[in-house]
Amino acid sequence: MADVVIVADRYELLRPLGSGSFGRTFLAHDRTFDRHVAIKVLDPAADWKARDLFKRESAVLQGLRHQAIPEVHALVSGAWEGGNTEFLVMEYIEGMSLAQVIDEPRVLPFSEVVHLFLELLGVLDYLHRRAPPILHRDIKPSNIIMRADGEPVLVDFGSVRRTALGADESGSTIVGTYGYMPYEQYMGQAAPSSDLYALAATFLHLLTGRPPREWLNDEGRIIVPANLSNDGRLGPVLARMLQPSPTDRLASAHEVREAMWRGTETTGGNVPAGAPRSTAIESVALGPAPRTIEGETAALLDRVAPTAWDLADSSTKQDVIGASDVAWAIFLGVITVGIVPLIFVSVAHQRRRRLTRFFRNGTVATARVINFAPESTAMGQKLTRVGYEFSVDGKLRRDSDLVLPVVAARWVVGDSVSILYHAAEDYDSVIISTS
């Protein structure tokens, strides 16, 4: 823009970010707090329905607090292009939309795709569990942004609707995007399973690089390809979410997460369900807490707890300590005046103490691996942070733990691992599988 445009004597518009059916969105500089914001501008010529949707978006977003939903800073009025209009000032989400990922094209690791999928299910679970439930109604690749850290954000709530409408609200508006919206939305109807349909269509597009309409058969049903991924669960789950009839779909985000968790076959889908790659990785026979560290319990602790040798060469399997290992340790001790070997001993000791606490009083559970992330110690030793989720009393919980890379390399996303957790310590947990 040639001339500087200031909104509400505070926000300097910098460049366009996008446009919709009833307005445009700009990147702006908030001069008061010296930060970037996104400003959605309502077209002054917009009709009453567009104004209703705009106000609805503002009202709904102001009541939401979630890390994957943009925060609303303000709703202001002012002059715009010869008329008066309203401006919705929101948190600016910097990153790449899934539409941009598809268009590049950029192939995401499958573990990253599963992570995005599970995180967005968490967002929908948060929205759909509100009282009354909140429906997005326009989930598609361009409305999902990946931050630099890989976390997704659901944007553009311009089609949002509460399922319980006020006396002055109409539920007959048709909103959504062809290919991503289910049949009931063409009739002005929507439910939580409608958002799940759109999410599944979005991830079908992300995984195949082809828009959902290209997977429609002659009956108007989206057919999920049998070779969708190397994972036996995601394909059948997406197929169930994409059923034409809402009654045949998984009804809630919680049900979808449970289906991913169980890895069970979902009836009514178009993809043969594959069995999970593994059940529990390692059978753990521990009695009820509190336990004494002896016998089989002590033997398992010895297998799980890394030694100083393991940490000194974390990428190599340490079956037998040879003469070269001893020589290397002596060499490190000489050139560092004994400091480096002591660091490895100290770290190994701290890890064993933490594990011992769980072995004494922790509760055994099975968790599902959801992601991997490499980490380095202060000495540059490589470890792997394994993210996982587990169910306790019907509630899904998430945690992560650091393990040796040679151990983490035996697993893939979706594998089951044994853990110990402390319910009294906010479900803090550790992995106790080693194979």
Percent of the chain with pLDDT over 70: 77
Q: Is residue 166's pLDDT more than 70?
A: no
Residue matched to tokens 């290209």:
214
Report the SS3 class of residue 425.
helix
**What is the reported pLDDT for 379?**
52
Query: Does 186 or 329 have the greater pLDDT score?
Result: 186
- Give the pLDDT of residue 231: 64
pLDDT digits (tens, 9 = 90+) for 353-370: 888 889 888 888 888 888
Q: Does pLDDT of 100 surpass 80?
A: yes
pTM flag (> 0.85): no
Q: Place 337 in a pLDDT band, splitting at 50, 70 and 90.
A: very low
Q: Return the ∠ at Cα 116 (arms to 66 and 72), rounded to 5°.
A: 25
pLDDT in tens, 128-145: 988 888 898 889 999 999
- Nearest 5°: the CA angle 276, 280, 286 is 165
C-alpha to C-alpha distance for 385 and 401, rounded to whole angstroms: 5
Token match 């690791």: residue? 109
Q: Residue 335: which H helix or E strand, with range?
A: helix 323-335
The first and second tokens of residue 93, run together, are: 């989400």
Residue extent(s) of CATH 1.10.510.10 domains in the chain: 96-262
Classify burial at 139, counting beta carbons within 10 Å of its beta carbon; exposed 0-12, middle 13-18, buried 19 or more.
buried
CA distance 428 to 355: 12
Mean pLDDT of all residues in the chain?
78
Q: Superfamily for 96-262?
A: Transferase(Phosphotransferase) domain 1 (1.10.510.10)
The pLDDT value given to residue 285 = 59
pLDDT of residue 320: 40
State residue 277's pLDDT score: 40
The predicted structure's pLDDT at residue 167: 32
Provide the pLDDT for residue 382.
74
Sign of CA dihedral 402, 405, 406, 408: positive
Helix axes 253-262, 110-128, angle to 10 degrees: 150
Question: Is the Cβ–Cβ distance between 282 and 155 less than 8 Å?
Answer: no
CATH of 6-91, one of 3.30.200.20, 1.10.260.40, 2.60.40.420, 3.30.70.890: 3.30.200.20
The boundaries of every CATH 2.40.50 domain in the chain are 295-431
Topology given in CATH for the domain delimited by 295-431:
OB fold (Dihydrolipoamide Acetyltransferase, E2P) (2.40.50)
Spatial separation of the C-alpha atoms in residues 148 and 133, rounded to whole Å: 30
| Residue 351 near residue 293, CB atoms below 8 Å | no
The predicted pLDDT at position 201 comes to 96
Q: How many CB atoms are closer than 10 A to CB 181?
A: 24
Domain with CATH 3.30.200.20 in the chain: 6-91
Interval 111-124: pLDDT, tens? 888 889 989 998 99
Whether the Cβ atoms of residue 391 and residue 330 lie closer than 8 Å to each other: no
Q: What is the pLDDT of residues 191-250, one digit of tens each?
A: 899 999 999 999 999 999 999 999 999 888 999 998 886 666 788 999 999 999 999 999
Please state, in angstroms and rounded to a whole number, the distance separating the CA atoms of residues 119 and 149: 13
Q: Evaluate the omega torsion of the peptide bond into residue 374 and state whether it is cis, within 30 degrees of 0.
A: no
354 Cβ contact partners less than 8 Å away, ≥ 6 residues apart: 430
The pLDDT score that the predictor gives to residue 281 is: 38
Per-residue pLDDT at 180: 92
